[in-house]
Amino acid sequence: MSHDQYDRQDPARQYAGPDEQSSDRIPHPGLTGQMGDQPDHGEDSYRGTGRLEGRRAVITGGDSGIGRAVALAFAREGADVLISHLPEEEPDARETVRLIEGAGRKAVTVPGDIRDQAVCRRIVERAFAEMGGIDILVNNAAYQMAQPGGITDISDEQFDRVMKTNLYAMFWLCREAVPRMPAGSSIINTASIQAQESSAPLLDYATTKAGIVAFTKALAEGLAPQGIRVNAVAPGPIWTPLIPATMPEDKVEGFGRQTPMGRAGQPAELAPAYVFFASPEASYVTGETLGVTGGQPLT
């Protein structure tokens, strides 16, 4: 969808919702090029002001969607960026690398499945070897697969995958990185409105997102004396490859209309929240969860 076709001043009309073609399922994990409507990651709109000059950021799931938008924004703010991604997401990862390097910053990629603790360790080691350290850790990668039948349709294999991807990997990455992160560093976790407004088809996913909010609060308290801040961003319905790859077609059609804004959000609209949490302007903010939900309340 063209950003220029809509009203930049009216948030409700800034973007159109997914069109009918976009409701077609795509194979998981989903690539950006397979989507009927291409998400906006801020390619033409995000302007950096040097807020993260010289910082070194790690972003899991940085190949597409929210992760790509955050990688682009961080790079344009002056940070070098390492992204992790699944091997089958290589085409999207290459495009994110192009955007990071186009901003004049170093890009590093680590393919692999973060359900494997060794992959999480490799991500941290590569960040120190190729960027010299980690100042910003964004735990963004997640797995979901909607099951309309609820709990009786969720297999042990799916439950294990959701838990390992969304919770275990975050724990492993933080435990590996924290002892080597300097004071002034920031950890930012991607939660979800599902943590508060949970739905039966996403029972396992919602459970992990509530866990991420609790993890964020506890880790923030524990790391405050070390000068490391920990916060979370809770997206509402955001148009990324995960949606047509994991949700029934009838849920994808009209995706986001239930919000007060009446539309789905775009990855580009999430990136400024991550920049804020990573920047010195947020020096007295830790343990918080910021909703970017189109007006749906985090109750």
| pLDDT tens figures, 233-268 | 999 999 999 899 988 888 888 899 999 999 999 999
Which ranges of the chain does DSSP label H, i.e. alpha helix?
Answer: 65-76, 90-102, 117-131, 156-163, 169-177, 203-223, 242-246, 249-252, 271-278
Range in 14-23, 159-168, 176-185, 223-232 with the lowest mean pLDDT: 14-23
120 Cβ contact partners less than 8 Å away, ≥ 6 residues apart: 114, 169, 172, 173, 176
Catalytic residues: 205
pLDDT digits (tens, 9 = 90+) for 198-232: 999 999 999 999 999 999 999 999 999 999 999 99
Pick from 248, 258, 201, 245: nearest CA to 36: 245
Can you tell me the mean pLDDT for 175-193? 98
pLDDT digits (tens, 9 = 90+) for 62-104: 999 999 999 999 999 999 999 999 999 999 999 999 999 999 9
Q: What are phi and psi of 138, to 5 degrees?
A: -110, 110
Pick from 192, 186, 185, 147: nearest CA to 166: 192
What whole-number distance in Å separates Cα of residue 6 and Cα of residue 74? 26
Q: How far apart are the first and last CA of the chain?
A: 32
pLDDT digits (tens, 9 = 90+) for 23-60: 678 999 899 999 988 999 999 999 999 999 999 999 99
- pTM, whole model, 2 decimals? 0.94
| Domains with residue ranges and CATH for the chain | 53-292 (3.40.50.720)
Distances from the Cα of 24 to the Cαs of 30, 31, 148, 241, 252, in angstroms?
12, 13, 17, 11, 8
What whole-number distance in Å separates Cα of residue 75 and Cα of residue 196? 32
What whole-number distance in Å separates Cα of residue 1 and Cα of residue 39? 7
What whole-number distance in Å separates Cα of residue 70 and Cα of residue 187? 13
Going edge to edge, which strands form the sheet with 229-235? 107-111, 80-85, 56-60, 136-139, 186-190, 229-235, 289-292
